[in-house]
Copies of this chain bind each other. A is one copy, B any other.
Protein backbone atom coordinates (compact mmCIF):
# COMPACT_ATOMS: atom_id res chain seq x y z
CA UNK A 1 0.00 0.00 0.00
CA UNK A 2 1.39 3.41 -0.98
CA UNK A 3 0.81 4.82 2.49
CA UNK A 4 3.05 2.22 4.09
CA UNK A 5 6.02 3.03 1.88
CA UNK A 6 5.37 6.74 2.32
CA UNK A 7 5.21 6.23 6.07
CA UNK A 8 8.52 4.37 5.97
CA UNK A 9 10.22 7.14 4.02
CA UNK A 10 9.10 9.79 6.50
CA UNK A 11 10.92 8.90 9.69
CA UNK A 12 9.95 10.86 12.80
CA UNK A 13 13.33 12.56 12.55
CA UNK A 14 12.51 14.29 9.30
CA UNK A 15 9.14 15.77 10.24
CA UNK A 16 8.81 18.91 12.39
CA UNK A 17 6.77 18.27 15.54
CA UNK A 18 4.44 21.17 14.69
CA UNK A 19 3.44 19.24 11.58
CA UNK A 20 2.87 16.04 13.56
CA UNK A 21 0.74 18.10 15.95
CA UNK A 22 -1.46 19.36 13.11
CA UNK A 23 -2.06 16.14 11.18
CA UNK A 24 -4.54 14.59 13.62
CA UNK A 25 -6.63 17.74 13.27
CA UNK A 26 -6.46 17.39 9.48
CA UNK A 27 -7.71 13.81 9.83
CA UNK A 28 -10.59 14.99 12.04
CA UNK A 29 -11.70 17.68 9.65
CA UNK A 30 -11.39 15.33 6.67
CA UNK A 31 -13.42 12.70 8.51
CA UNK A 32 -16.22 15.15 9.25
CA UNK A 33 -16.16 16.26 5.59
CA UNK A 34 -16.42 12.63 4.50
CA UNK A 35 -19.33 12.17 6.91
CA UNK A 36 -20.97 15.10 5.12
CA UNK A 37 -20.53 13.31 1.80
CA UNK A 38 -17.60 15.39 0.53
CA UNK A 39 -15.35 13.33 -1.75
CA UNK A 40 -12.85 15.97 -2.93
CA UNK A 41 -11.55 18.95 -0.97
CA UNK A 42 -9.19 21.78 -1.95
CA UNK A 43 -6.32 22.94 0.26
CA UNK A 44 -8.13 26.29 0.12
CA UNK A 45 -11.26 24.85 1.76
CA UNK A 46 -9.26 22.73 4.21
CA UNK A 47 -7.29 25.84 5.17
CA UNK A 48 -10.47 27.81 5.83
CA UNK A 49 -11.80 25.11 8.16
CA UNK A 50 -8.46 24.59 9.94
CA UNK A 51 -7.60 28.29 9.94
CA UNK A 52 -4.19 27.73 8.36
CA UNK A 53 -3.05 28.81 4.89
CA UNK A 54 -3.52 26.43 1.94
CA UNK A 55 0.27 26.72 1.39
CA UNK A 56 0.83 25.46 4.95
CA UNK A 57 -1.40 22.46 4.34
CA UNK A 58 0.41 21.58 1.08
CA UNK A 59 3.75 21.99 2.84
CA UNK A 60 2.70 19.83 5.79
CA UNK A 61 1.50 17.04 3.50
CA UNK A 62 4.62 17.32 1.32
CA UNK A 63 6.69 15.76 4.11
CA UNK A 64 4.91 12.50 3.36
CA UNK A 65 4.92 12.60 -0.42
CA UNK A 66 2.43 13.93 -2.94
CA UNK A 67 -1.28 13.84 -2.21
CA UNK A 68 -3.71 15.08 -4.83
CA UNK A 69 -2.82 16.94 -8.01
CA UNK A 70 -2.27 20.70 -8.24
CA UNK A 71 -5.66 22.35 -8.65
CA UNK A 72 -7.46 19.04 -8.45
CA UNK A 73 -7.95 18.92 -4.69
CA UNK A 74 -7.54 15.94 -2.38
CA UNK A 75 -9.52 12.72 -2.44
CA UNK A 76 -10.92 12.86 1.09
CA UNK A 77 -11.23 9.13 1.81
CA UNK A 78 -7.81 8.37 0.34
CA UNK A 79 -6.12 11.19 2.27
CA UNK A 80 -7.72 10.08 5.55
CA UNK A 81 -6.47 6.52 5.03
CA UNK A 82 -2.96 7.66 4.14
CA UNK A 83 -2.69 10.12 7.01
CA UNK A 84 -4.07 7.64 9.53
CA UNK A 85 -1.49 5.07 8.48
CA UNK A 86 1.32 7.63 8.50
CA UNK A 87 0.34 8.77 11.99
CA UNK A 88 -0.22 5.24 13.31
CA UNK A 89 -3.92 5.90 13.78
CA UNK A 90 -5.12 2.96 11.69
CA UNK A 91 -4.48 0.51 14.53
CA UNK A 92 -5.19 -0.36 18.13
CA UNK A 93 -2.96 1.07 20.87
CA UNK A 94 -2.86 -0.50 24.30
CA UNK A 95 -2.36 1.93 27.15
CA UNK A 96 -1.47 1.61 30.82
CA UNK A 97 -2.92 3.89 33.49
CA UNK A 98 -1.02 4.68 36.67
CA UNK A 99 -3.16 6.10 39.45
CA UNK A 100 -6.68 4.84 40.09
CA UNK A 101 -7.76 7.36 42.70
CA UNK A 102 -10.36 10.02 41.92
CA UNK A 103 -8.41 11.48 38.99
CA UNK A 104 -7.53 8.08 37.52
CA UNK A 105 -11.13 6.89 37.80
CA UNK A 106 -12.28 10.03 35.98
CA UNK A 107 -9.76 9.15 33.24
CA UNK A 108 -11.10 5.58 33.08
CA UNK A 109 -14.65 6.90 32.75
CA UNK A 110 -13.69 9.11 29.80
CA UNK A 111 -15.61 7.66 26.84
CA UNK A 112 -13.47 9.06 24.03
CA UNK A 113 -10.44 6.77 24.03
CA UNK A 114 -11.71 3.36 22.87
CA UNK A 115 -13.65 4.62 19.81
CA UNK A 116 -10.37 6.11 18.56
CA UNK A 117 -8.36 2.95 19.14
CA UNK A 118 -6.82 3.72 22.52
CA UNK A 119 -7.52 0.98 25.06
CA UNK A 120 -6.54 1.13 28.71
CA UNK A 121 -5.59 -2.52 29.28
CA UNK A 122 -3.92 -2.28 32.68
CA UNK A 123 -4.26 0.01 35.70
CA UNK A 124 -1.77 0.43 38.54
CA UNK A 125 -1.74 2.07 41.93
CA UNK A 126 0.56 2.20 44.93
CA UNK A 127 -2.33 2.30 47.43
CA UNK A 128 -2.88 -1.12 49.04
CA UNK A 129 -6.54 -0.18 49.61
CA UNK A 130 -7.07 0.14 45.85
CA UNK A 131 -4.85 -2.69 44.57
CA UNK A 132 -6.89 -5.76 43.67
CA UNK A 133 -10.11 -3.81 43.22
CA UNK A 134 -11.88 -3.94 39.87
CA UNK A 135 -12.33 -0.52 38.28
CA UNK A 136 -13.82 -0.23 34.81
CA UNK A 137 -13.27 -3.94 34.11
CA UNK A 138 -9.63 -3.69 35.14
CA UNK A 139 -8.18 -5.30 38.23
CA UNK A 140 -5.90 -2.68 39.78
CA UNK A 141 -2.33 -4.01 39.90
CA UNK A 142 0.45 -2.99 42.28
CA UNK A 143 2.70 -0.41 40.61
CA UNK A 144 5.59 -2.82 41.17
CA UNK A 145 4.16 -4.88 38.29
CA UNK A 146 4.32 -1.95 35.84
CA UNK A 147 7.65 -2.84 34.20
CA UNK A 148 6.67 -6.46 33.66
CA UNK A 149 3.27 -5.62 32.16
CA UNK A 150 4.66 -2.91 29.87
CA UNK A 151 7.44 -5.18 28.62
CA UNK A 152 5.34 -8.34 28.26
CA UNK A 153 2.63 -6.54 26.30
CA UNK A 154 4.96 -4.17 24.47
CA UNK A 155 2.96 -1.16 25.58
CA UNK A 156 4.21 2.22 24.39
CA UNK A 157 1.68 4.61 25.95
CA UNK A 158 1.11 5.48 29.60
CA UNK A 159 -1.44 7.74 31.26
CA UNK A 160 -0.54 9.48 34.51
CA UNK A 161 -3.57 9.78 36.77
CA UNK A 162 -1.91 10.39 40.13
CA UNK A 163 -2.00 13.66 42.11
CA UNK A 164 0.57 16.34 41.27
CA UNK A 165 3.10 15.56 43.99
CA UNK A 166 3.50 11.97 42.76
CA UNK A 167 3.27 12.65 39.03
CA UNK A 168 6.93 13.20 38.11
CA UNK A 169 7.90 10.03 39.95
CA UNK A 170 5.30 8.09 37.96
CA UNK A 171 6.52 9.65 34.72
CA UNK A 172 10.07 8.55 35.56
CA UNK A 173 8.77 5.09 36.36
CA UNK A 174 6.88 4.84 33.04
CA UNK A 175 10.00 6.00 31.20
CA UNK A 176 12.03 3.40 33.05
CA UNK A 177 9.54 0.72 32.00
CA UNK A 178 10.07 1.69 28.35
CA UNK A 179 6.97 3.77 27.68
CA UNK A 180 7.64 6.32 24.92
CA UNK A 181 4.43 8.39 25.01
CA UNK A 182 2.89 9.79 28.18
CA UNK A 183 -0.44 11.53 28.69
CA UNK A 184 -0.20 13.41 31.97
CA UNK A 185 -3.40 14.45 33.78
CA UNK A 186 -1.61 15.71 36.88
CA UNK A 187 -1.38 19.50 37.18
CA UNK A 188 2.39 19.63 36.68
CA UNK A 189 4.56 20.21 33.62
CA UNK A 190 6.06 16.73 33.61
CA UNK A 191 9.65 16.33 32.39
CA UNK A 192 10.86 13.39 30.30
CA UNK A 193 14.12 12.56 28.51
CA UNK A 194 14.59 13.00 24.74
CA UNK A 195 12.84 10.26 22.83
CA UNK A 196 9.84 10.28 25.18
CA UNK A 197 6.84 12.44 24.32
CA UNK A 198 4.69 13.97 27.03
CA UNK A 199 1.34 15.74 26.56
CA UNK A 200 -0.42 17.38 29.46
CA UNK A 201 -4.20 17.36 29.86
CA UNK A 202 -4.92 20.25 32.16
CA UNK A 203 -8.50 21.56 32.21
CA UNK A 204 -7.86 23.66 35.32
CA UNK A 205 -4.92 25.43 33.69
CA UNK A 206 -7.16 26.03 30.66
CA UNK A 207 -9.77 27.67 32.91
CA UNK A 208 -7.08 29.69 34.66
CA UNK A 209 -6.01 31.20 31.32
CA UNK A 210 -9.54 32.60 30.77
CA UNK A 211 -10.57 34.13 34.10
CA UNK A 212 -8.35 37.17 33.45
CA UNK A 213 -10.75 38.10 30.66
CA UNK A 214 -13.78 37.80 32.92
CA UNK A 215 -12.61 40.38 35.43
CA UNK A 216 -14.96 43.32 35.39
CA UNK A 217 -17.70 41.08 33.99
CA UNK A 218 -20.65 40.66 36.32
CA UNK A 219 -20.14 37.59 38.46
CA UNK A 220 -21.81 36.37 41.61
CA UNK A 221 -18.51 35.61 43.32
A residues at B contact (CB < 8 Å): 7, 12, 15, 20-21, 23-25, 27-28, 32, 50-51, 86-89, 91-95, 102-103, 105-107, 109-113, 116, 118, 153-157, 164, 180-181, 183, 185, 187-189, 197, 199-201, 203-215, 217-221
- Are A154 and B218 neighbours in the complex by a CB distance under 8 Å? yes
* Residue ID in chain B nearest A208 by CB atoms: B24
- Are A201 and B206 neighbours in the complex by a CB distance under 8 Å? yes
* Residue ID in chain B nearest A182 by CB atoms: B210
Cα A28 to Cα B109 with chains together (Å): 27
- Are B219 and A93 neighbours in the complex by a CB distance under 8 Å? yes
Residues in B neighbouring A215, C-beta threshold 8 A: 7, 12, 88
**A189 contact from B25, B155, B181, B206, Cβ within 8 A:** B25
* Residue ID in chain B nearest A196 by CB atoms: B213
Residues in B neighbouring A189, C-beta threshold 8 A: 25, 50-51
Cα A105 to Cα B87 with chains together (Å): 30
- Are A213 and B106 neighbours in the complex by a CB distance under 8 Å? no
- Are B109 and A105 neighbours in the complex by a CB distance under 8 Å? yes
**A217 contact from B32, B118, B180, B204, Cβ within 8 A:** B180
Cα A12 to Cα B213 with chains together (Å): 6
- Are B203 and A113 neighbours in the complex by a CB distance under 8 Å? yes
- Are B187 and A210 neighbours in the complex by a CB distance under 8 Å? no
Residues in B neighbouring A210, C-beta threshold 8 A: 157, 180-181, 183, 197, 199
- Are B154 and A220 neighbours in the complex by a CB distance under 8 Å? yes
- Are A204 and B153 neighbours in the complex by a CB distance under 8 Å? no
- Are B112 and A109 neighbours in the complex by a CB distance under 8 Å? no
